[in-house]
Amino acid sequence: MGSNEKGQVAVVVGVGAKQGLGAALARRFAREGLHTFVAGRTPERLEAVVEEIEASGGRATAVPCDATESAEVVALIDRAIEEGGRLDLVAYNVGNNQFSSLLDMTDEFFENLWRLCCFGGFIVGRESARRMLDQGSGTILFTGATASVRARPPFTAFASAKSALRSVAQGMAREFGPRGLHVGHVIIDGVIDGDQVNGRFPQLKEARGEQGMLNIDAIADAFWMLHTQHPSAWSQELDLRPFKEEF
């Protein structure tokens, strides 16, 4: 395909470090030939991910976007369709963990986590579904966590927001599945081997041992598998954990 021709498009919302799940999803979707729009709040980090994709022959575009602002999400999706083509696959990956004991927790802390982990997912899901329903097909995937199904202090606020995102995904799947949209939720039940955790808790990787943390490319493979499932056998939810993780 020539550089000006339009084709299939993927959008990944929640991309930061190169060694992060968002970046790995973008690389994976681009590797499959989708023009991948890479969205997050830090332009330099997005550009670094795009450069890497382009260096390996893929097509990608960096779009700075705060997922909790609907006007920015609308502009992102419009641009992806206008410049890229058909909106085939959208992943909502925003949702970094923060913790606080409940008694010390401020109103802002609780509300901000909800905005990042749930509200942004609702906006991205709604805007994607609006466009995909016109096409009659498309995949929308949400990144979940252990906290999506289990609330444990000091992660109560995070869990309340992640479980709410799971509900958004379930409701969307039931509303839009019969109209051709595949909506999936992926529970990451363990620690991701990426910059988010390795940067903050460098000792954890050694403590977990070999393959004790989830590999970002392996997770990205699972997202791609969901996208390519046959419509007669769709998963709505998938859980992923290291083989040695207790659950």
Ligand X SMILES: NC(=O)c1ccc[n+]([C@@H]2O[C@H](COP(=O)([O-])OP(=O)(O)OC[C@H]3O[C@@H](n4cnc5c(N)ncnc54)[C@H](OP(=O)(O)O)[C@@H]3O)[C@@H](O)[C@H]2O)c1
Nearest Cα to Cα of residue 187 among 223, 152, 233: 223
Instruction: Please choose, out of 3-11, 51-59, 60-68, 231-239, the segment that lies near ligand X by the rule CB under 6 A.
Output: 60-68
DSSP symbols for 214-235:
B-HHHHHHHHHHHHT--TTS--
Q: Which is nearer to ligand X, 155 or 176 (CB)?
A: 155
Main-chain dihedrals φ then ψ at residue 186, nearest 5 degrees: -110, 115
Decide: is 17 part of the binding site for ligand X (CB under 6 A).
yes
Residue with tokens 């997922």: 67
Residues 68, 123: contact at Cβ < 8 Å?
Answer: yes
**Interacting residue with ligand X among 9, 10, 11, 16 (CB under 6 A):** 16
10 contributes a contact to ligand X by CB under 6 A? no
With CA atoms as reference, report the closest residue to 66 among 19, 120, 130: 120
In the complex, minimum distance from the CB of residue 178 to ligand X, in angstroms, rounded to a whole number: 27
Three-point CA angle 130, 77, 139, nearest 5°: 60
User: One symbol per residue from 103 to 142: x for binding ligand X (CB under 6 A), - otherwise; what is it?
Assistant: -------------x---x----------------------
CB of 231 to ligand X, least distance (A): 26
Does 40 engage in binding with ligand X (CB under 6 A)? yes
Residues near ligand X (CB under 6 A) are 13-17, 20-22, 40-42, 45, 65-68, 93-97, 116, 120, 143, 145, 188, 191-192, 194-197
